[in-house]
């Protein structure tokens, strides 16, 4: 939790200095460049710290003859840890540019490492929770959060998530088949892929209609 808090504080501090389109930075240019450099150094430092932590855990498992099963995510090679960290970083950039959830990108990646679908789903939900909290805090700081809409949407999301998870868990407990999670993930990915161009077309048509009304 301390590590996550430090990462959050670093990200918010960097965002404050660099600013955004709606809230341009008031800091001098040299301060923004210095912030970028420090942020990159912190990112690499945090990655190296996590790599060493994971390698220490792997060494501890070997010392105590921990039985590794096929579905365990066991990183005994520093390069493998760096590779998944790099891929997660690229996924974060792509998700930030496209506006899609990170779990849609990281889900297939975690499955590639033989992670159990239930563990993959839980990990994605945890990552999504952190990302969502970060976005909400940023919107609150920029005074751009529609409290009424956010409350209604949040309530509906909680109800939908509870119903969905309870039904899926009941199905898995009854049948012992976790493939349902993978099937649902694939369905969500396909729907997201289809909705992206549709969303672009709808917004483009709305913009053209608005321009036509303005011109008239």
Q: Which two tokens stand for residue 133?
A: 């909290």
Query: Within 13 A of 51's CA, how many CA atoms are on the CB side?
Result: 16
* Residues near 47 by beta carbon (within 8 Å), at least 6 away in sequence: 82, 85
Please say if the pLDDT value at position 127 is more than 80.
no
pLDDT band at residue 15 under the 50/70/90 scheme: confident
- The Cα–Cα gap between 208 and 196 comes to 18
Residue 20 has pLDDT above 80, yes or no: no
3-state DSSP of the chain: CHHHHHHHHHHHHHHHHHECCCCECCCCHHHHHHHHHHHHHHHHHHHHHHHHHHHHHHHHHHHCCCCCCCCCCCCCCHHHHHHHHHHHHHHHHHHHHHCCCCHHHHHHHHHHCCCCHHHHHHHHHHHHHHHHHHHHHHHHHCCCCCHHHHHHHHHHHHHHHHHHHHHHHHHHHHHCCCHHHHHHHHHHHHHHHHHHHHHHHHHHHHHHHHHHHHHC
- Higher-confidence residue of 203 and 69: namely 203
Q: Say which residue, 143 or 38, is predicted with more confidence.
A: 38
The per-residue pLDDT for 102 is 66
Which pLDDT band holds residue 184 (cuts at 50, 70, 90)? confident
State the average pLDDT for the chain.
78
49's tokens: 């710290």
pLDDT tens-place string over residues 37-56: 998 898 888 888 888 888 88
Tokens of 153: 């949407």
* pLDDT at residue 80 is higher than 80: no
**pLDDT score, position 70:** 67
Q: Where are the domains of the chain?
A: 1-145
């Amino acid at each position: 939790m301390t590590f996550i808090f430090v990462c959050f504080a670093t990200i918010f501090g960097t965002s404050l200095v660099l600013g955004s389109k709606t809230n341009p930075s008031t800091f001098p240019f040299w301060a923004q460049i210095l912030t970028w450099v420090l942020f990159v150094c912190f990112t690499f430092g945090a990655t190296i710290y996590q790599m060493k932590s994971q390698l220490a855990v792997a060494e501890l498992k070997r010392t105590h003859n921990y039985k590794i099963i096929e579905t365990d995510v066991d990183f005994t090679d520093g390069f493998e840890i760096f590779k998944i960290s790099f891929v997660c970083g690229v996924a974060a950039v792509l998700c930030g540019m496209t506006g899609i959830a990170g779990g849609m990108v990281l889900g297939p990646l975690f499955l590639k490492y033989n992670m159990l679908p239930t563990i993959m789903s839980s990990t994605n939900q945890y990552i999504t929770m952190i990302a969502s909290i970060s976005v909400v805090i940023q919107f609150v700081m920029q005074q751009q959060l529609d409290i009424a809409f956010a409350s209604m949407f949040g309530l509906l999301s909680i109800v939908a998530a509870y119903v969905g998870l309870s039904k899926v868990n009941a199905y898995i407990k009854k049948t012992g088949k976790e493939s349902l999670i993978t099937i649902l993930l694939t369905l969500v990915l396909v729907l997201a892929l289809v909705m992206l161009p549709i969303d672009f077309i709808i917004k483009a048509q709305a913009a053209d209609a608005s321009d036509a009304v303005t011109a008239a």
